A and B are shown apart, each in its own frame.
Chain A
């Protein structure tokens, strides 16, 4: 659904630059998440996904120069003071980190992790906070929550601990949940359970969700819309179904081609050659130029492509694809030609 009212989370040309690097970490990121909408941000390691998510809570690397805006519920967080950051962190948005072992203080009990912010920031009594913690642990499907409150993080499995982390993110009743690769540190079966819990919570509570992942299939299964990021820029965006059926950017196609299909017999995987652009490398034109098999020297390496709507509609493959509810945008000089070639 295209957001009609003001989006809950809105990045407007966010630019983050660190001194001593050849290119910005984030370069003109524009992205929005409406209330109750699940959106995924997909890309390889080092593409800037996590920095994007952290920016929504004002957690930028120290010494970074920033430009553009990140609005959470209408509040611009770029250059916001501590009080405004706190208001957003305690009232609107919260975050689930990748590795629950690292994201939860190992020397304090699970109960402390869950109740501390309620007691110390929210001003609730210990009994109230504990009741709320029990309620949340039940909501994330952790059996015997009362016992786990007394335990230390090392006594819980990774999956259980990630549920604790999710419960911790929900203590302040946020409207927006930022999930930074919430299942990467977990094994595959636990991954499915955690994603189910997240999906359930998102629907039940009408949460806005920004899922950071490198797994396009996971993103498509959970989210309504997908943004694909490469070297700090959004290279393609559209509805999940549309993007998966007809990827318009060679990078999106490459990501899809390098993961085994969920159904049918797996064929040969085609990896994307080369490595992602490091922060020490700058590209004069398209950042994907060096790795792209469609790249045209003299054109693709001159100016960076702008995120635009492709003119041509791609051919509809075997499956009928419903008309996209959100406009598909792609940043590729040759998007139209490649669609034409595929026809």
Chain B
């Protein structure tokens, strides 16, 4: 236990950063253990139980269909976290590849790709996702793909400027002078030195991706019920808010807010630390 607290302390930052880290760790743990943690089957509902209040049978009550909100929340952690994870992974890998290659090559390649990235910036992620859903159908796949395309330019632009800065450092020239191949210097020596900053950006991206995917589910374009998902749960629960039964919408909304805020706090803290704004 003490080993973990020292590790947390070494991460630096105030109580907010530490709290956010704990929140994230908890949610990740929950998503891994979801099937064993959920007390009931979230896809099973009895109409007789609809809008049951908080109590021993249903810790966080039920929705209009009698589904257990607590269980849905726990099972929903998976899709709600896996989606953004896929987005961040795909956009980071492609973004790093594009950014590193163009900045390393320089010249007209850099100019052309830079302009193409500018054009991609002009597309709102949600619009792109709606387009993808229209083309490929609802579900998790199409929005994730569209989101990855929409998020790629952010990483690519960051990597491009980092690489351009790093490339002119004398140690890179020193490696070249030692006779190492360009691929080796770029991938094995330059890339590791910019990775921390890219990771910080990806952490922030994760929060935004989660929010965007939840918004798509809320619009009914993402994950479809009965598969538990926070955005879909808010969608299902919104009608009940007007009937004076806000719990089934508020619970997943609070979860979204918690995770997004926690990711932003941690991501910005990492970025600040790496930029040397805080020791």
Contacts and interface: CB of A to CB of B under 8 A. Distances in A.
A121 B174 contact: no
Nearest to B167: A62
A117 B189 contact: no
B122 interface: no
B273 to A, nearest CB: 16
A165 B192 CA distance: 22
B178 A89 contact: yes
A90 B174 contact: no
Interface string A160-189: 000001001001100000000000000000
Interface stretch (B21-29, B112-120, B139-147, B179-187): B179-187
A199 B112 CA distance: 49
A224 interface: no
Contacts of B179: 86, 89-90, 117, 121, 172
Contacts of A171: 178
B180 A104 contact: no
Contacts of B184: 120
A102 B165 CA distance: 13
B155 to A, nearest CB: 21
A181 B60 CA distance: 71
A107 B174 contact: no
User: Which of the four size classes fits the interface of chain A?
Assistant: 20 to 34
Contact of B193 (A54, A63, A97, A107): A107
Interface residues of B, number: 19
B169 interface: yes
Task: Among B171, B178, B192, find the residue whose CB has the most chain A CB atoms closer than 10 A.
Answer: B178
Nearest to B168: A61
Nearest to B174: A103
A90 B171 contact: no
Interface in A232-260: none
Contacts of A99: 170
Interface string A25-60: 000000000000000000000000000001001010
Contacts, number: 64
A94 interface: yes
Interface in B72-90: none
A82 B182 contact: yes
Interface string A90-120: 1000110111001111111000000011001
Nearest to A95: B177
Contacts of B107: 62-63
B161 interface: no
Nearest to A89: B179
B121 interface: no
A106 B175 CA distance: 13
B274 interface: no
Interface in A260-297: none
A59 to B, nearest CB: 6
B187 to A, nearest CB: 13
Contact of A168 (B174, B180, B182, B189): B174
Interface in B164-213: 169-171, 173-182, 184, 189, 192-193
Interface of B: 106-107, 169-171, 173-182, 184, 189, 192-193
25 contacts: A54-B173, A57-B177, A59-B176, A62-B106, A62-B107, A63-B106, A82-B182, A89-B177, A89-B179, A90-B178, A97-B174, A98-B170, A99-B170, A103-B173, A103-B174, A105-B175, A106-B171, A107-B192, A108-B189, A117-B180, A121-B179, A168-B174, A171-B178, A172-B178, A172-B179
Interface of A: 54, 57, 59, 62-63, 82, 86, 89-90, 94-95, 97-99, 102-108, 116-117, 120-121, 165, 168, 171-172
Given A63-B107, A121-B180, 4 more contacts: A95-B173, A99-B170, A105-B193, A172-B179
- 10 shortest interchain CB distances as A-B pairs: A90-B179, A117-B178, A103-B170, A121-B179, A102-B170, A89-B179, A97-B170, A105-B171, A62-B106, A103-B174
